[in-house]
Amino acid sequence: MSGGVDSSTSAVLLQEQGYEVIGTTLELYRGSSCCSQETIMDAKKICNQIGIPHFTYNFKDEFKKYVIDDFIKCYEECKTPNPCIECNKYIKFDLLYKKAKELGCDYIATGHYAKIEYSEKYGGYVLKKSEENKKDQTYFLYSINREILPNILFPLADYKDKKEVRNIATENGLLVAEKPDSEEVCFIINDDYASFVEKNIQDKPKPGNIVLRSGEILGRHNGLIHYTVGQRKGLGISYKEPLYVIALNKEKNELIVGTEKELYGSKLYANEINFLVDFEKWDKEIFAKIRYRASFAKAKVNKQEDILEVTFDEPQRAITKGQSAVFYDKDGVVLGGGKIL
């Protein structure tokens, strides 16, 4: 429980369904927006209000190892990471799940907008898109262990509008009913990821050339950690037409820019694959998302040992190394996903 409206409402809904509920909050990072003293106290107040026990677990060391260190390493390697995916994989749906088992719990529940159901088609439990399409969070959940899917509850799965959830919180007199959502990376202050990375790496970023694919030098960059594919603002260069970051060359310390047309690609490769459905059961044509806010795009996938080759029907904008490609069937079932190479 993060002290927010989603997890608090989820606890109430589970109570109404007859579950014996235990609230837990994780201490992950000092100053984090999701586990500050304020959010921990909010979670405790909600638990007291609805009459359930509350436990706080300190996973700061594990969070640093699996989430923060990976975040920093990705930027050092000129990749753009997604720390929420790592947190779900290693912290919430691994370490916390193990704590839940120690407490004798049958299920772990969160306030994610996602759905777990049994699929006759695939012969097992599957992760599926929630009814709230704008808030659906299955993209962040593809990396969890498929073996624990039967032991996960998402109480908000069938709600089509966040207003419904806030109304339930209000009807139950929850103190956090109108609390604003927190959408930034929890351990980054003011969304200034570059400053965070720079403070935590040994080899400080060095200025280098901003170049076209032809090699023509257009200007200087401030260090590659300040840029990501698709970025237009903050380049500090002028050209006859708008330019965007289309690649980062770590070896040459070059920032490669080009026109918007050059941002589009029809193919990607992904590794570190997690299959929530056996690959042999995938349809020939599936749908892929290359970032959380991206649209679902029709694609064909070939498996080459530990790498997936993904070919899109239509070119995709700003395919970015380090982000995840997540795959769905036509019914919204999450088939699996991996890291873009």
The residues annotated as belonging to the active site are: 87, 186
The answer to whether the Cα torsion of 239, 240, 242, 243 is positive or negative is negative
Query: Which is it for the CA torsion 293, 298, 303, 309, positive or negative?
Result: negative
> CB within 8 A of 165, min separation 6: which ones?
5, 6, 9, 156, 159
Written as one letter, the residue type at 29 is Y
The answer to whether 118 and 125 have CB atoms below 8 angstroms apart is yes
The answer to whether 253 and 224 have CB atoms below 8 angstroms apart is yes
Q: Is 225 helix (H, G, I), strand (E, B) or coil?
A: helix
CA distance 335 to 58: 32
Residues 231, 78 contacting (CB under 8 angstroms): no
The secondary structure of 129-158 as a DSSP string is --S-TTT--GGGGTTS-GGGGGGEE-TTTT
Task: Give the three-state DSSP class for 288.
Answer: strand
Rounded-to-integer distance, Cα 206 and Cα 75, Å: 13
- In angstroms, the CA 37 to CA 58 distance is 13
Q: Which two tokens stand for residue 137?
A: 């969070």
